[in-house]
């Protein structure tokens, strides 16, 4: 999709997201949007957007790391029974440090041998 038209972004969110490299010198930039797979534990957090297709942000998959991701690629992914990647409609702009802390705490619980199933539930 060209011209910045993606189903994952509203016009308002498109206007709010800083352009690429706008926050590169910020120590704790805001995350503006959260995209997730309803069928596995992958999440993409958008910090910047090029107004076309490319976002920079935090990707929480096998590891949690900063990087670039393509909205058109996210929109092309299909899960079981045709599930698609969704945007969290209730997500509020949040500092990167707060999201990283939540991810670290969740990962620690998932690997806690004192909890049933290592903290992952069933």
Mean pLDDT of the chain: 90
Beta strands in the chain (DSSP E): 30-31, 33-36, 43-49, 54-60, 64-70, 86-87, 94-95
- For 58, the domain range is 11-95
Is 24 within a domain?
Answer: yes
Count up the domains in the chain and report the number.
1
71-89 per-position pLDDT tens digit: 999 999 999 999 999 999 9
Is 59 within a domain?
Answer: yes
Is 34 within a domain?
Answer: yes
16-70 per-position pLDDT tens digit: 999 999 999 999 999 999 999 999 999 999 999 999 999 999 999 999 999 999 9
**Residue 14 confidence (pLDDT) above 60:** yes
Q: Decide: 93 and 17 in contact? Cβ < 8 Å.
A: no
């Amino acid at each position: 999709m060209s011209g910045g038209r993606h189903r994952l972004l509203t016009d308002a969110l498109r206007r709010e997201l800083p352009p690429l490299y706008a926050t590169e010198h910020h120590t704790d930039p805001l995350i503006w949007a959260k995209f997730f797979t309803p069928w596995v534990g992958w999440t993409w957090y958008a910090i910047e957007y090029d107004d076309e297709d490319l976002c920079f942000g935090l990707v929480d998959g096998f590891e949690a790391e900063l990087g670039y991701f393509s909205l058109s690629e996210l929109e092309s992914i299909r899960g079981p029974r045709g599930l698609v990647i969704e945007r969290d409609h209730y997500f509020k702009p949040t500092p990167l440090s707060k999201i990283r802390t939540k991810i670290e705490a969740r990962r620690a619980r998932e690997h806690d041998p004192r909890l049933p199933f290592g903290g992952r539930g069933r």
